[in-house]
Amino acid sequence: MKEYKIFLYSENVFASIFFNGGKVDPVKLTQALNQQAAQGWEVKTLQRENRRTLLFFSREAFVFVLERDKK
């Protein structure tokens, strides 16, 4: 039997707007996914989206569906 989890990853609003133009830092994303993998989660699917922030800005975000064997 499997269990599933929704995992949303996006950068801090102000850091993403002022330091990297709303893009996700691949190093931080890798670290976040490795933390999930250490708990037994595997990426089943993912969706990339742009989320509107502070009226005129948008930032990149990823929505992951994670799967693992139920304990």
DSSP the chain: -EEEEEEEEE--HHHHHHHSTTPPPHHHHHHHHHHHHHTT-EEEEEEEEEEEETTTEEEEEEEEEEEEE--
The reported pTM is: 0.75
Residue 52 has what pLDDT?
67
pLDDT band at 34 (very low <50, low <70, confident <90, very high): very high
pLDDT band at 5 (very low <50, low <70, confident <90, very high): very high
CATH classification code of 2-69: 3.30.110
